[in-house]
Structure 1
Amino acid sequence: MPAEFVEALPILQKIRNAGYEAYFVGGSVRDVLLDREIHDVDIATSAYPAETKRIFEHTIDIGIEHGTVLVLENGGEYEVTTFRTEDVYVDYRRPSHVNFVRQLSEDLLRRDFTINAFALAENGDVIDLYHGLDDLENRILRAVGTPQDRFNEDALRIMRGLRFAAVLDFELASETFVAMKSHAHLLEKISIERIFIELDKLLTADFWQKGFRDLLAISAADYLPGFSDAQKLAQLLKLPEGFVFTNSVQAWGYLLHSLGYSDGKFLLKKWKVSKDFAGQVTHFLTAYQHRKAAAFSSEDLYHLGLSSLTLVEELLAAQGAETDFERICALSDALQIRERKEIVMTAGQIMTAFDIKPGPEIGELFHEIELAIVRNQLENSETAILNYVKDVRK
């Protein structure tokens, strides 16, 4: 067992000593079996929430209505969730009610895919009720039980499945693929924020091209904002096989470029991303379009940022185009300021020094000073700036 599980074993043992069942469950078990790094250790138990709280001295009710109690033990935090079944789903996303049960088999039946439906006992035995081990060995992603039911319950599982295919390099089982395609229209019922998270993970995965091909094949793009032009989307797949995006900004920026956007703010607003992320993507998109026409300048670096320019060069390198990382580094080294507030004099100080009244003149003058410093035509010093203003106001 990995260290994370070994550290959590006392939790399982304490629950078992109290007379209940307890297992490690979910994606962490899958990742252990695939020899991948694990992140979260989830524990499922036959103990009801109130019973779990009686076993441990320090707990927090983080989702007790769904059976989850956060256990604080030995310096760690562990989510312990009661075995449960789920009632009729509403909004194709959430169960209207959950029922606590004592049987592990009923709990595992509600999972999304067979490779996520494992339970790991404290002695290291893997409980596999849905042939997930076979699917792991054959690198197949298969829905638990009847796939139509799984996607009708929670349509976000469609995007999760595409993401798993991209992250794990798995093939979709034929019946799971068919069910995804027939239920893709239900994605319109899911919050765009949740879809963004899954699509973002897909695009930045090692095998994103596989996941993206599957996304197009099941026509999921038809139900995503601004993605209805499958032919333009397919341009994304013309990147060399095996290319991996450096980060989300590069991935979404090139995606918008493939869709023909010169300014992606309108579309990104539909995806309800943060203003900061939208700004970074827009800067990358602008930088990419500039670079296709000419080499980068000091002003490009100043206005768009070193990160945007570097991401563009990386993408050009992947496409076999000529790059100039050295030029970007040289521009960066020579840049005196990264933002306007680094100018050693403020507009107010200049107004006082030259008795300039508030109005358009000072705004235009300060902008000229800013550009002159960026272009290295003016030293960012008080003396140089004062002399510059004297000269231009003669």
Structure 2
Amino acid sequence: MRVEKMPAEFVKALPILQKIRNSGYEAYFVGGSVRDVLLSRHIHDVDIATSAYPAETKQIFEHTIDIGIEHGTVLVLEEGGEYEVTTFRTEDVYVDYRRPSHVNFVRKLSEDLLRRDFTINAFALADDGEVIDLHGGLADLEARILRAVGNPTERFNEDALRIMRGLRFAAILNFDLESTTFASMKDHAHLLSKISIERIFIELDKLLTADFWQKGFRELLAIEAYPYLPGFSDKTALTHLLALPSDFKFTTAVQAWGYLAHQLGYSDGKFLLKKWKVSREFSTAVSKFLTAYDKRLKGDFSSEDLYNLGKSSLTLVEEMFAAQNLETNFEQISALDAQLQIRNKKEIAVSAGQIMTEFGIQPGPQIGQLFHQIELEIVKGHLQNTPQHIFNYVKKTLREL
């Protein structure tokens, strides 16, 4: 098969391939970018594989960076871009079910493609557009099947993260798992307990935010991988996610993880997400979603909810209500947002220091409590956010003490 019209990203990188070939070595586009070209999908990264060893690649190009030279990868800075050029390689015995103990540089493309995870990721594309398919990937693309390269037991024993990658590809591409590959993923799911939770999170996060996330999530349950994921032991609760409409897509990762945490019974996402070692910012955002969800179950949102939790959290919750055919009120959120005078306490028209000076208040708990009270009154719309109105409010409050 030949690609007649290469995408712009490949056209721009063609001089890299040609320069390597003119130096007497083989060079090809490889990996997921080739798969995406064949599926007419957007390309994210352009990866190049070559028979040139790292030292030889560095001799060909004037500007390079050793970003992973021990694994054969050199970053080439040319043609106004940055390109990872990796030497064909084979891999020795894997340690920790994730990393090879040693890599061997080789000159044959066929040896390099044999170490790839799935057949649809084991293509190479030459500079003339010829697609090199040594493992039946084109047929699997046509059949929309995910099949491990070679022996699936060997592939998943080498790198157990490939199990999560397979689920992610199913969710992104809407592909089915080939039966032998499915069985091997199920047999080796327990190896996920050996894998860094940060790496698993990346794969699951991409799965949940994919167009066909329900397919990937359904397969995750089917291969019984969930007991090896932190906090995911309740299969019944996890299955509730699949009750959402088949065409529903999560708007953001916060919404996906927030709704997942809600189904699992968590009222505070920080407890669950601490196990997943996510950023504090992401954990806080999910916790705000959960708080908003709980408040919405009890009634409409208030100005304080909007101020404390943010319009984004409230909107994401309302979208989940819509997905479940529950009554929604997006208009109310917009109305509350339009009426809100401040977004944070820094926007209050006077500072705590100015109030202390104006009324001779000494530092201490009193000014903190008073300023918080002012903040709430402004948020509720009971107090206009102007110096004069705030000073009048303080004067009245102090008189009543």
Under a length normalisation based on structure 1, what TM-score does the superposition of the two structures give? 0.99
Matches within 5 A, 1:331-370: 331-370=336-375
Cα deviation per residue 1:132-154 (whole Å; 9 max; x = unaligned)? 00000000000000001101100
Q: 2:276 aligns with which of 271, 281, 291?
A: 271
Secondary structure at the aligned position of 2:97 is classed as coil
Q: Distance in 1 between matches of 2:240 and 2:22?
A: 58
- Tell me the alpha carbon deviations over residues 234-292 of structure 1, each in whole angstroms, 9 at most, x when there is no partner: 11111111100001000000000000111121111110010100011000111111111
Residue 70 of structure 2 corresponds to 65
Q: Distance in 2 between matches of 1:183 and 1:212?
A: 17
Identify the match of residue 158 of structure 1 among 163, 173, 184: 163
Contact 2:28 2:49 (C-alpha < 8 Å) held by counterparts: yes
User: How many residues are aligned here?
Assistant: 394
1:318 and 2:320 matched: no
Which of 175, 179, 183 in structure 2 is aligned with 1:178? 183
Structure 1 residues 10-49: aligned runs within 5 Å: 10-49=15-54
- The 3-state SS of whatever aligns with 2:129 is coil
Q: C-alpha deviations, 1:207-227, integer Å up to 9, x for none?
A: 000000000111111001000
Equivalent in 196, 202, 205 of residue 197 of structure 1: 202
Partner residue of 2:309?
A: 304
**Alpha-carbon distance in 2 for matches of 1:168, 1:265:** 31
Structure 1 residue 8 displacement after superposition = 0.7
Q: Indicate the RMSD between aligned Cα atoms, in angstroms.
A: 0.7
Structure 1, unmatched stretches of 5+, are none
Match of 2:288 among 280, 283, 292: 283
* Partner SS for 2:45: coil
Shift, 1:323, TM fit = 1.2
Conserved? CA contact 2:13–2:79, under 8 Å: no
Residue number in structure 1 paired with 2:3: none
User: Partner letter of residue 395 of structure 2?
Assistant: K
Is the 2:207–2:216 contact (alpha carbons within 8 Å) kept by the matching residues of 1?
yes
The answer as to whether partners of 2:91 and 2:115 remain within 8 angstroms in 1 is yes
Q: Tell whether 2:86 aligns with 1:75.
A: no
- 3-state SS, counterpart of residue 237 of structure 2: helix
Q: Stretches of 4+ moved more than 4 A in 1?
A: none
2:223 to 218, 241, 247: 218
- Percent identity, please: 76
When the two structures are superposed, what TM-score results if normalisation uses the length of structure 2? 0.97
> Which 5+ residue runs of structure 2 have no aligned equivalent?
1-5
Structure 1 position 357, deviation (Å) = 2.0
Q: Equivalent residue for 1:373? A: 378
Amino acid at match of 1:264: G
